[in-house]
Structure 1
């Protein structure tokens, strides 16, 4: 088909991509999906992963970096992470991070964002048929925001992105109460627990579908 890549070309692109150093901040694959990533990359000729995150709970603040280039002032928005976890957290973990941030009086007027981001899994697919097969499996496992993008000059770069609808975000400030933070932790933990269950289900069904012969 028009969008499909041949085995040799795809295998070459896969080998080059997977040989690159992981440039993410963490520098490695998240533990809850490490086995899935290795299985897919090592045993499935029609797929390889390009980016992944098992899901995370974060507390962060936006900041503006001013840069002067050729006498023109540019503003670059960046995030300062106060807390990051790829597992459920307890209330005191959030409270301690919150308190430490606002102990600095210069932060008292700043707003923090408490956010849960679910599993995201980007997979390059060799053919449209293999992309459709993985897309159907993802939907079956509850990843309703999964979608396919087609790129490259020859329209043969097929990337399937698996996502769910479990995302949440809420603002916190210096006046936020312990009760409100407790509720946020409980809600985020419920979503993380569901998120990890969905990952395990997808892992099982993917390996059952693509068994090593």
Structure 2
């Protein structure tokens, strides 16, 4: 029964429209999302590869994420000029923010979630966690604390100098670069953890046979060296006999 429920959840989630502002999976993590969704025990519910945002909040904004407009957003490294141009459009309280990679994955069993959690933590996403909902939904969230948020304007007035803005952009770009490295590390660990069981057996058998192959090779090398030595000795003996014959002939 639980298995049928999970399959229906997965089918419904993967076939619904993407209502995010971008409308599609970010390019830097599309291969990770596709890889996870190809496994029967997992499917992704939301994701973001990481982004640098300049957002403007309303003057009477009680909840930060509501009534906010995005002045600038990128999923790659950015230039100070682009951020400064966008900041000039601020009419409220603007903040420059870096958000790292985040991924939510629904898992079929708790053991599946624990495996994914181990992969995430070992890849540098140490703020990852597992939640279990009332309906039995098991969600594993890949998260980290590798973030940044700095207020840069108030009531439309810029609070920082161009020099400090350059510094903030440089720090944000460094965090983005580190973020992309962690994403690739996560993907490599994920591939190793989720590779087919039969492939693991083949690799294990190959590893077990490797020392035997080395011993045989060493023996072959010893035999080869012995043969070479014998050949050299035989050559020397023949050379000495030729020399003696030459002396007798003279």
Q: Give the TM-score of the pair, scaled to structure 1.
A: 0.84
Q: Which consecutive unaligned segments of at least 5 residues does structure 1 have?
A: 67-75
The match for 1:88 is 77
Establish whether residue 120 from structure 1 lines up as the match of residue 82 from structure 2.
Answer: no
Contact residue 65 and residue 78 of structure 1 kept, 8 A: no
**Pairs aligned (count):** 190
For the pair shown, the structure with the greater C-alpha radius of gyration is 2
Change (3 A) 1:129 1:175: closer
Which one has a larger percent helix, Structure 1 or Structure 2? 2
Q: Distance in 2 between matches of 1:28 and 1:152?
A: 29
State whether structure 2 residue 44 is matched by structure 1 residue 49: yes
> Taking CA–CA contacts closer than 8 Å with sequence separation of 6 or more, which of the two structures ends up with the larger relative contact order?
1
Residues in 2 aligned to 1:196 and 1:144: alpha-carbon distance in whole angstroms: 16
Of 146, 164, 186, the residue aligned with 2:128 is 146
Coordinate RMSD, CA, aligned? 1.9
Greater mean deviation of Cα atoms: 126-135 or 6-15: 6-15
Tell me the distance in 1 between the aligned counterparts of 2:127 and 2:81: 32
Normalised to the residue count of structure 2, the TM-score between the two structures is 0.72
Structure 1 residues 96 and 64 mapped into 2: Cα distance closer, same or farther (>3 Å)?
Answer: closer
**Structure 1 runs, 4 residues or longer, greater than 6 Å off:** none
Q: 1:77 to 1:193 in 2, by over 3 A?
A: same
How many Å separate the matches in 1 of 2:3 and 2:68?
Answer: 41
Pair 1:179-2:163 in alignment: yes
**Per-residue deviation, 1:65:** 8.3
Matched-pair contact (CA < 8 Å) for 2:58–2:93: no
Task: Identify, as 1 or 2, the structure richer in strand.
Answer: 1
Q: Deviations over 1:145-165 (max 9, x none)?
A: 101111033xx2100111011
Q: Secondary structure at the match of 1:152?
A: coil
